[in-house]
Amino acid sequence: MEASEEKSAASVKAVDAIVAVVIFLMGLVVIVDSWRLGAKWGSDGPEAGYFPFYIGLILCIASTINFVAAFKVKGGESFVSMSSLKMILSVVIPTIIYVGLIGGVGPVPALGIYVASTIFIALFMKWLGKYAWPMTIGVAVAVPVVFFLLFEVWFKVPLPKGPLEAALGLN
């Protein structure tokens, strides 16, 4: 495979171990909160933390075993190569910005799902697909319009809308 020749961004071993630690911490959080609520037998039966307490306990035990097992794997197999990681991030980061634009977060204005989708699809096609502008704009405008008709008009399911819809009187 070509991937193994490329520079690795992280080894399977490392990611496996980190994930096991994160899961262990999750288990710890579950145990602590269950204990706070009461994980014993109350006056009227099992307390609120009774069941989750054991869930947390099993999480901790299983992730400890997974952590140890992660180091038993021989060889430094690559979890993700540098170039793949770049590809993944070039999708994840725009997606995060996209979700931010729908509802607005901090300095990012809320544009509503339709306008945000137009920007997202256009950027994606232009940046990763290298399409010409007419094609890009055509798809980026057509898809949200179809969804608008489908959801707002046909099924009457309201989706988040922003200033553009307000200006057009579509709210």
Q: Is 35 in the site for other proteins (CB under 8 A)?
A: no
CA 130 to chain centre: 25
Under rule CB under 8 A, residue 33 binds other proteins: yes
H helix or E strand, kind and range, residue 144: helix 133-148
The verdict on 139 binding other proteins (CB under 8 A) reads yes
Q: The tokens of 139 are what? A: 């798809």
> Angle CA(118)–CA(122)–CA(127) in degrees, nearest 5?
150
CB of 72 to other proteins, least distance (A): 11
DSSP class of residue 11? E
Among 23, 28, 108, 141, binds other proteins (CB under 8 A): 23
Instruction: Output the CA torsion sign for 96, 97, 98, 104.
Output: positive
- Binding of other proteins by 138 (CB under 8 A): no
Residues 53-92 touching other proteins, rule: CB under 8 A, are: 55-56, 58-59, 62-63, 65-66, 69, 79-80, 84, 87-88, 91-92
Nearer to other proteins, 55 or 166 (CB): 55
Shortest distance, CB of residue 170 to other proteins, whole angstroms?
Answer: 16
Alpha-helical (H) ranges within 7-130 are 12-37, 50-72, 82-103, 112-124
For residues 107 and 103, what is the distance between their CA atoms, to the nearest angstrom?
11
Structure tokens at 85: 């990681």
Q: Residue 4 contacts by C-beta under 8 Å, 6 or more apart in sequence?
A: 78
Residue 8 vs 59, nearer CB to other proteins: 59
Q: How far is the CB of 55 from other proteins (least distance, A)?
A: 5
At 127, give phi and psi (nearest 5°).
-80, -50
Q: Which residues bind other proteins (CB under 8 A)?
A: 12, 15-16, 19-20, 23, 26-27, 29-30, 33-34, 37, 41, 45-52, 55-56, 58-59, 62-63, 65-66, 69, 79-80, 84, 87-88, 91-92, 95-96, 98-99, 102-103, 113, 117, 120-121, 124-125, 128-129, 131, 139, 143-144, 147, 151, 155, 157-160
